[in-house]
Amino acid sequence: MARRTKIHVGLEIGTSKTCLVVGEVKADSAVKILGIGETKTAGVRKGEIYDYSQARTCLKDALAKAEDASDVEIGSVYLAITGSHIQGVNHRGTYRLPDGEPVVAPEHVEEARNIARDVHIPPDHVYLHPIVRNYWLDGLEHSISPVGLFGKTVEADFHVVHGIGARIQNSIKLVREMPLEVDDIVFSPIATAQMALDREQRERGALVIDIGGGTTDYALYLGGVITASGCIPVGGDHITNDIHLVTGLPFSKAERLKVTEGDASAEPGRSVGTAKLTDDRGFAEIEVNRSVLNEVIRQRLEETLRLVRDRLPVGSVESIGAGIFLTGGTSLMRGFSELAFEVFDRDIYRPELPEISGIQASFKDPRYATAIGLIRYAQILESERATPPGCLGKIARMFWPFGR
Amino acid sequence: MIPYNRDPQQVIPNSAVKIIGLGGAGANMLERIALDGLEGTALLALNTDVRTLSSSLAKEKIQLGINLTKGLGTGGDPELGHQAILEAEEAVRAAIQGCRIVFLCVGLGGGTGSGAAPIVTRIAREEGAFVVIFATMPFVFEGKRRREQAETALNELAVLSNALVTFDNNRMGELVLAKQGIHKAFLAADHMICESIKAVIRLVIRPGLINVGLDDLMSALRTNRSRCLFGSGISKGKDRAINALRNALSSPLLDQGALLRDARTVLVHLCGGEDLTLFEIELLMQHLQKFVPETAHVLFGAAVDPAMGDSLSITLISALPEDSLTMAPRETLSHLPAESPELESRQSSTVPVAKKKAVAQSPLPEPTEEDPLFAGADKPAAPSLLSEYRRSLAGSTAEAPTLFDQDSPFTEPELPSIPKSTAEDYLAGAEPELESLPLNTEIPETPEPTPFSPVVAEFVAVNREDSSEVYLEEEPSPEPIEKDENFYNPGPEPTGFTPIPRRRPAGTTPWTPAKPRPETTGSSAQLSAPEIPKLKLDTKFSTPQSELAFETTPRGRFEGADPSVIDGEDLDLPPFLRKKK
């Protein structure tokens, strides 16, 4: 199907940075990144906005930069959201075909889906995604909709992500005030996984852990479908904070120390002597015992990874075949892969970002994984939208090639 | 070393506690209790249905209505249940004989439960046992008839029993998530009932550091036709005090603590491992204040049990008059005079009541603070006055009072270290207050100082001389002062009273002779146990404790953010510091 190129924009308001990625999806569904707009974020803590005016300023700045870099006027974005209130649950809906209708009709599947979506969520929560995992027909698994097949019972297996409605609405409101339209909201780890995992890895089983500034998001894929997702409100900021609390250094120095000297592996060889920060004249400004520094970092990260592991369904870590993919800024920590291996005992990867052209350097950076993943998500969503543009749509596209 | 034997008066041997499961639902609860392993208590199953009876885990079983139902159930007819128990009355009586406390677990609404429970209760009461009933009410969907049967039985039980804990099945949903299985819901209900029984037993059997015994339990539960409010929580790790309290308040019987707002008497019992700190107790009690009305009578107890390990359990027991569940949502201070007669009938002749009454009748509008322990909450004047008092009278350094307050309830050595002169000064200084009370309020039953030793009389005389105006200006703070003096009882000792052991035998009789104060009319065991914690609370509010600030460990940039607590661990604190402990 010949299609025009489309431009998608992914927006992530992270705890440490606000990042807009402008991507062009070509007709052959290759993705080209046109530009990235990034600023440091203020007013966001643990993935949730607590100071709206500051966050708004940051978003404005990032938007201007992104428009500058990509030379595109941005009208609508895909928004990644996170926060410890968001959680994913699996639910299955069963629908028994009425007598005298041996063939599964679309409305039967729809009914099963509705039942599956009907998860008991707390009253203040709203659904983010009902993601279909797979269908079952009379106990047999079907990865696509079993419409037209003979059978008695249709089951739909859903992964339902839900979170507190008010907080999500506030994030959307912030973006709307730019003014920007929000095409869709996506739970961060799901967006990240679009980017970090290919089909084969999902098939074999993979876990994406996105350790950002304020939160650790994870998504587990087993047998090609999402099995668990969630968010733990701990991130790189906590490490800085820990260093600050333990050593008494100011935040800025603690942050620099973490980035330049920290090591998360338990290797004793890397914890010898003192870590020094030099000021601009080359004098040693502060000295911290490396064993203390590394221990603070390691314990924090180890605890975080263990929390992730404990939240996964029982026995699922063992069935991860492809490995564990670490993204997010904190995954750049030295020795982190060793630590993750120690905790999960699975292969550890930093995801490579294939098949994307553009400003290469940015894509290698795990810090942009989520925002780029959003483009991918948009692309998939676009192709999934069942109805191909009709006659009217085609005419409209001739005049406005970039619209939806 | 002189062995000091704690007064065993309030300690009830295990063998004198019996748990009775009546009917099908009762059998289920009993099973839960047996499975949870309540050490040493005797279990007795009563049922008409011989099948469930034979599968029961209880050691003793009595089949009801052998001739009447012939081993079948009652088919939901309370009349049958009633006759069945009458048939087996002798056997039941024999089984209950000698018990001090009987817990009766029953599901109301059915035949055996509704019909037999009142009779069992009566038999147990006749045998002199303290009867606590744990009753579940049927679901709404079980129909109006069953509901009515249950209500009828409940009304009877409320009159007959010493304490009644009802658990409404309709509220079972609050215990478990909606998506969990039905067996989980019932399990949770049984579990909660079991927990409450355990907590009550723990309370009664184990002597505490600050003891609460059967008498306190009775006074907490003693309102006729009452519904028991019960909450029990256990927690370990950091913030365990607050978490335990939160767990306790989340009990469906407490309705997130909202129901406590109407409580008149609240029994609070803490049990912790050997690392239980005074500070934790204070923190917890401070939080509890938010839920308990200022006027409530708080009976506080604490126990240290090495078996608790690093966990802390809190048990809240209180009773609401049944009508207050439906009407009169909030009690205000202005209602108090009207209510005081009832209070009195409830706990006649105990000192707190006498005092309450006195204050309630007092013409002064402002100091109608019934209970000094809550005085600090909204009336800072009195405590500050108190501390001024201390400073001037005790002649000690500025921080001395606070030292007292924090430590004395628990550390014994502190008491003897009070200089005698100080104590005497203290007494002397406090005397106008004591006197002022009877004068002002004119309670007929308050005896004049005469029955007491001449020393006190002398004090009174001296103070009478010195001043009408002194007591006038100090009028607002009679309670705290009086309380204080009450606590530092070693004071009167040198003046020729019966010597008392220095060690504070919380809530036990040796305390009695050391309380010769004008208002003391009797029932001293009751008095001393609640008094001590009162003082503690009072002082806690009077002097803002510097220590309390230590609780909030610095969180760096997450200061003020809503904490992320997972599994009782505050994730905002460095694991490096958390795990080092």
pLDDT in tens, B162-204: 777 777 776 666 655 556 667 777 777 777 777 777 777 777 7
Q: What is the ipTM of this complex?
A: 0.72
Give the gap in angstroms from C-alpha B177 to the nearest C-alpha of chain A.
Answer: 9
Give the gap in angstroms from C-alpha B245 to the nearest C-alpha of chain A.
Answer: 23
Cα–Cα distance between B489 and B477 in angstroms, integer?
Answer: 19
User: Do A69 and A189 sit in the same domain of this protein?
Assistant: yes
Cα–Cα distance between A13 and A171 in angstroms, integer?
Answer: 9
Token pair belonging to A374: 């959003």
Look-up of token digits 């006055």 = B385
User: Do A147 and A25 sit in the same domain of this protein?
Assistant: no
Check CB contact under 8 Å for A84 and B557.
no
Cα–Cα distance between B294 and B232 in angstroms, integer?
Answer: 21
Residue of A233, A245, A299 lying closest to B579 (CB–CB):
A299
Give the gap in angstroms from C-alpha A247 to the nearest C-alpha of chain B.
Answer: 11
Cβ-proximal residues to B38 (8 Å cutoff; 6+ apart), any chain: B19, B194, B197, B198, B201
Measured CA distances, A333 to A40, A83, A264, A349, A350 (Å)? 19, 22, 7, 13, 12
Question: Which chain B residues are closer than 8 Å to A235 by Cβ?
Answer: none
Q: What is the pLDDT of residues A267-311, one digit of tens each?
A: 888 888 888 888 777 777 788 888 889 999 999 999 999 999 999
Question: Which chain B residues are closer than 8 Å to A84 by Cβ?
Answer: 564
User: Do A104 and A209 sit in the same domain of this protein?
Assistant: no
User: Do A1 and A97 sit in the same domain of this protein?
Assistant: no
Check CB contact under 8 Å for A238 and B178.
no
Q: What is the pLDDT of residues B110-144, one digit of tens each?
A: 888 888 888 888 888 888 888 888 888 887 777 88
B window 157-196, beta carbon within 8 A of A: 177-179
pLDDT attached to residue B257 = 66
Task: Evaluate if residue A365 carries a pLDDT over 50.
Answer: yes
Cα–Cα distance between A372 and A196 in angstroms, integer?
Answer: 10
Q: Which percentage of chain A shows pLDDT scores above 70?
A: 91
pLDDT attached to residue B1 = 61
pLDDT attached to residue A66 = 92
pLDDT attached to residue B535 = 38
Compute the average pLDDT of residues A227-256. 90
Give the gap in angstroms from C-alpha A84 to the nearest C-alpha of chain B.
Answer: 8
Check CB contact under 8 Å for A300 and B554.
no
Is residue B30 within 8 A of residue B57, CB to CB? The reply is yes
Q: Does A303 touch chain B (CB under 8 A)?
A: yes
Residues constituting chain A? 404
Check CB contact under 8 Å for A296 and B574.
yes
Question: Which chain A residues are closer than 8 Å to B566 by Cβ?
Answer: 232, 307
Task: Evaluate if residue A200 carries a pLDDT over 80.
Answer: yes
C-alpha A64: how far from its chain's center? 24
Check CB contact under 8 Å for A45 and B561.
yes
Check CB contact under 8 Å for B574 and A251.
no
Amino acid at A347: D
pLDDT attached to residue A59 = 92
Nearest CA in chain A to B561: A45
User: Do A126 and A205 sit in the same domain of this protein?
Assistant: no
Check CB contact under 8 Å for A299 and B561.
no
Question: Which chain B residues are closer than 8 Å to A300 by Cβ?
Answer: 574-576
User: Do A223 and A322 sit in the same domain of this protein?
Assistant: yes
The CATH number of whichever domain residue A99 belongs to comes to 3.30.1490
Nearest CA in chain B to A243: B574
User: Do A379 and A271 sit in the same domain of this protein?
Assistant: no
pLDDT attached to residue B97 = 84
Q: Does B238 touch chain A (CB under 8 A)?
A: no
Which CATH code for domain B11-205? Answer: 3.40.50.1440
Check CB contact under 8 Å for B177 and A46.
no
Residue from A211, A288, A212, A210 nearest A249 by CA: A288
Task: Evaluate if residue B477 carries a pLDDT over 80.
Answer: no
What's the domain range around A218?
A: 198-350
Q: What is the pLDDT of residues B548-574, one digit of tens each?
A: 434 456 777 777 667 777 777 778 888
Q: How many structural domains is chain A composed of?
A: 3
pLDDT attached to residue B457 = 39
DSSP symbol at B569 = E
Question: Which chain A residues are closer than 8 Å to B561 by Cβ?
Answer: 45-46, 50
- 3-state SS, residue B312: strand
A window 223-242, beta carbon within 8 A of B: 232-234, 237-238, 240-242
pLDDT attached to residue A78 = 92
A window 358-397, beta carbon within 8 A of B: none
User: Do A221 and A299 sit in the same domain of this protein?
Assistant: yes
Q: What is the pLDDT of residues A23-61, one digit of tens each?
A: 888 877 778 888 889 899 988 888 888 888 999 999 999
* Mean residue pLDDT across chain B: 63
Q: Does B377 touch chain A (CB under 8 A)?
A: no
Cα–Cα distance between A71 and A22 in angstroms, integer?
Answer: 10
Check CB contact under 8 Å for B574 and A245.
yes
Q: Does B577 touch chain A (CB under 8 A)?
A: yes
Count CA atoms within 13 Å of residue B457 on its CB side: 8
Residue of A233, A251, A299 lying closest to B557 (CB–CB):
A251
Compute the average pLDDT of residues A351-363. 58
Nearest CA in chain A to B566: A307
User: Do A232 and A185 sit in the same domain of this protein?
Assistant: no
User: Pairing between strand B17-22 and B101-107?
Assistant: parallel
For chain B, the domains span: 11-205, 226-325, 344-542
Check CB contact under 8 Å for B576 and A84.
no
C-alpha B508: how far from its chain's center? 16
Confidence of residue A399 (pLDDT cuts 50, 70, 90): low
Query: For an interface test with A, which of B176, B177, B184, B557 has the most A Cβ atoms less than 10 Å from its Cβ?
Result: B557
Q: What backbone phi and psi angles, to 5 degrees, belong to A277?
A: -115, 130
User: Do A290 and A318 sit in the same domain of this protein?
Assistant: yes
Check CB contact under 8 Å for B557 and A241.
yes
Domain B226-325 has CATH 3.30.1330.20: yes
Cβ-proximal residues to B401 (8 Å cutoff; 6+ apart), any chain: B387, B390, B391, B394, B539, B543
Would the pTM of this model clear 0.90, i.e. be above it? no
Measured CA distances, A130 to B226, B381, B447 (Å)? 49, 60, 76
Give the gap in angstroms from C-alpha B558 to the nearest C-alpha of chain A.
Answer: 8
* Mean residue pLDDT across chain A: 84
β-pair partners for A12: A19, A80
The widest CA-to-CA distance across chain A, in whole angstroms, is 86
User: Do A67 and A189 sit in the same domain of this protein?
Assistant: yes
Out of B114-123, B172-181, B490-499, B537-546, give the one with best mean pLDDT. Answer: B114-123
Q: What is the pLDDT of residues B407-437, one digit of tens each?
A: 434 434 444 444 444 444 444 444 444 444 4
Q: Does B574 touch chain A (CB under 8 A)?
A: yes
Nearest CA in chain A to B563: A233
Q: What backbone phi and psi angles, to 5 degrees, belong to B84?
A: -65, -40
The CATH number of whichever domain residue A234 belongs to comes to 3.30.420.40
Q: What is the pLDDT of residues B295-343, one digit of tens each?
A: 788 888 888 877 777 888 888 887 776 555 443 333 333 333 333 333 3
Token pair belonging to B574: 């460095």
pLDDT attached to residue B338 = 34
Q: What is the pLDDT of residues A170-187, one digit of tens each?
A: 889 999 988 899 988 999
Cβ-proximal residues to B14 (8 Å cutoff; 6+ apart), any chain: B39, B40, B41, B205
Q: Does B573 touch chain A (CB under 8 A)?
A: yes
Task: Evaluate if residue B269 carries a pLDDT over 70.
Answer: yes
C-alpha A335: how far from its chain's center? 23
Q: What is the pLDDT of residues B39-98, one digit of tens each?
A: 667 888 888 888 888 888 788 888 887 787 777 877 778 888 888 888 888 888 888 888
User: Do A167 and A255 sit in the same domain of this protein?
Assistant: no
How many Cβ contacts (< 8 angstroms) between chains A and B? Answer: 62
- Between vectors from CA B102 to CA B209 and to CA B164, what angle results, nearest 5°? 90
Amino acid at B26: G
Check CB contact under 8 Å for B576 and A244.
no
Question: Which chain A residues are closer than 8 Å to B177 by Cβ?
Answer: 120
Q: Does A244 touch chain B (CB under 8 A)?
A: yes
